[in-house]
Chain A
């Protein structure tokens, strides 16, 4: 018997190696047909504030979890309705919107905390002399409108100092120009988001005072929300999505540059001002954690805090809550990973 020729063996080895490599690759990631489609609703416009979603998408965490994720940008009221009816599978919704929505029998609930610290704040230049809620009496405060999470936060802040909205001048900025109004001294203070307006004002060189509501009443900040029906039909996929998202949040917390890179890959326009985006991301990361999440892990839901928030929302003047709501109807922990 003649021995096989070396050249023939070499020629055979190459396609064999390629086949083995391809098989291994296919075995690692699910075939496209096996991926579960998820439509994810994020806030009004693409932003570095959604860096964790961009990272999880760009790094393939969603795909590795068997998910094909599509992002949609919507405002909060629309997103809640879309999530409730299942047109969007999971999305970012404000915790203070879930309570009135549920009181109107809209079947949506909060599934993971993203902002453990309530991001709506009152901010002012340090030079204004405003250091606490009591200092707002008689001052001029700018806000987009007398509704929503900012207005609820303001009621809580003012209430803690024995004040109401009648004790100061409210100037409306429906075009969300209240940050510029503070910068140009048109108003003494304004409502805003901790990772937006105060950051922008500080970047202009002014020292900024931020008044938070967390120590007054633990209002639930934006988090991941799901519809009751979707929770039943796509529980495993939603759990995988939450897990991948929380993983990305942990990685960005450890290395914020990962969030910046993923955001710029997804939204190249934001790369025009990297310093501002980094400042916003740093402020965003700061909002992801509090004592509860430090103990129970990122995303953990504090049911006691929710109970306090429901009591406040139900009793506040002009309450948006129609009828009693139970905390167990507002939240679900089924999608969260086990506590560390």
Chain B
């Protein structure tokens, strides 16, 4: 673990050095490619910190609520599809079609129908993380060793006991794999939703930094903050996976 951390930090340092070298060698002005120092200056400005925190709070709420909604519906859908081949044959084309439709095209429509408040953001986040969770849940439940289920039945386990003691634990590694993808996509969904219509959030801050303030270092700082949210949520799922699944992960 400690060695991994050192390696990760080392790679990160190399990336920063390479970035700085590109800026210096290419002689790029900050409005085209700010240096790591320009971006760090923004992070260390108390006014920017307050601005970032405020917008971060908005985006985080959208991501978490959207994730909760999308994952809940996806688990339910995945369960139904795993249990019923008829349901899978009937519903799968529509689920795939929803996934294939670009969220950038759907987001403005959702904002139009549901307003530019929190609801539309949550719906867009939920929509973007729904499909990978459905697939992961369906595959996870279908991949269970039939022998385990048979063993449970032979021990007279109830339907509920089969589900909670055998099927869900067996499917958990795959489901959590889907959750890792869903969390990063939820962050993307929140930013896209804010672009489609919002008055606060990191997506709005990107537009402000780029289009009103012409502050590209601030835009970079915002992008890094967005990436950090994605990484943090991903790590939470990794920790959850280790706790629930352990060495099977």
Residues of A whose CB lies within 8 Å of any CB of B are: 75-77, 80-81, 84-85, 97, 100-101, 103-107, 145-148, 151, 170, 172-175, 177, 320, 322
Q: Are A174 and B214 in contact (CB under 8 A)?
A: no
- Residue in B closest to A75 when the chains form the complex, CB atoms: B211
Q: Are B31 and A84 in contact (CB under 8 A)?
A: yes
Q: For B199, what are the chain A residues with a Cβ–Cβ distance below 8 Å?
A: 145-146, 170, 172
From B30, B31, B116, B213, give the contact of A174 (CB < 8 A): B116
Q: Are A322 and B213 in contact (CB under 8 A)?
A: yes
| A77, B197: Cα distance in complex, Å | 18
| A85, B212: Cα distance in complex, Å | 18
Q: For A177, what are the chain B residues with a Cβ–Cβ distance below 8 Å?
A: 112
A-B contact count (CB 8 A): 66
- Residue in A closest to B216 when the chains form the complex, CB atoms: A104
B88 within 8 A of A: no
Shortest A148–chain B CB gap in Å is 6
Q: For A101, what are the chain B residues with a Cβ–Cβ distance below 8 Å?
A: 31, 214
Shortest A99–chain B CB gap in Å is 10
| A148, B212: Cα distance in complex, Å | 6
- Residue in B closest to A175 when the chains form the complex, CB atoms: B108
Shortest A67–chain B CB gap in Å is 27
Q: Are A106 and B31 in contact (CB under 8 A)?
A: yes
Q: Are A100 and B212 in contact (CB under 8 A)?
A: yes
Shortest A338–chain B CB gap in Å is 33
Q: Are B32 and A81 in contact (CB under 8 A)?
A: yes
Contact with A along B195-206 (1 / 0, CB 8 A): 111110000100
Q: Which of B116, B212, B214 has the most CB of A within 10 A?
A: B214
B207 within 8 A of A: yes
| A151, B30: Cα distance in complex, Å | 26
Q: For A151, what are the chain B residues with a Cβ–Cβ distance below 8 Å?
A: 212
Given A100-B213, A104-B30, also A147-B207 (CB < 8 A): yes
Q: Are B198 and A172 in contact (CB under 8 A)?
A: yes
Interface size class of B (residues with CB under 8 A): 20 to 34
- Residue in A closest to B196 when the chains form the complex, CB atoms: A174
List 12 interface pairs A-B (beta carbons < 8 Å), by A numbering: A81-B32, A100-B213, A104-B30, A104-B215, A105-B31, A107-B29, A172-B199, A174-B195, A175-B108, A177-B112, A320-B213, A322-B213
From B116, B195, B208, give the contact of A147 (CB < 8 A): B208
Interface residues of B in 189-244 (CB under 8 A from A): 195-199, 204, 207-208, 210-216
B111 within 8 A of A: yes
Q: Are A172 and B197 in contact (CB under 8 A)?
A: yes
Q: Are A148 and B32 in contact (CB under 8 A)?
A: no
| A320, B209: Cα distance in complex, Å | 9
| A166, B108: Cα distance in complex, Å | 26
Further 18 A-B residue pairs, CB within 8 A, beyond A148-B211, A170-B199: A75-B211, A77-B210, A80-B214, A84-B31, A103-B214, A104-B214, A105-B29, A106-B31, A145-B199, A146-B199, A147-B207, A147-B208, A147-B211, A151-B212, A172-B199, A174-B195, A175-B111, A177-B112
Q: For B204, what are the chain A residues with a Cβ–Cβ distance below 8 Å?
A: 145
What 4 A-B pairs come out closest when comparing CB atoms? A174-B197, A77-B211, A147-B212, A101-B214
Shortest B32–chain A CB gap in Å is 6
Q: For B31, what are the chain A residues with a Cβ–Cβ distance below 8 Å?
A: 81, 84, 101, 104-106
- Residue in A closest to B29 when the chains form the complex, CB atoms: A105
Q: For B214, what are the chain A residues with a Cβ–Cβ distance below 8 Å?
A: 77, 80-81, 97, 100-101, 103-104, 106, 320
Q: Are B207 and A145 in contact (CB under 8 A)?
A: yes
| A148, B215: Cα distance in complex, Å | 14
Q: Are A175 and B197 in contact (CB under 8 A)?
A: yes
Q: Are A174 and B108 in contact (CB under 8 A)?
A: yes
- Residue in A closest to B28 when the chains form the complex, CB atoms: A85
| A77, B207: Cα distance in complex, Å | 10
Q: For A174, what are the chain B residues with a Cβ–Cβ distance below 8 Å?
A: 108, 111, 116, 195-198
Shortest A101–chain B CB gap in Å is 4
Shortest B195–chain A CB gap in Å is 8
Shortest B63–chain A CB gap in Å is 20
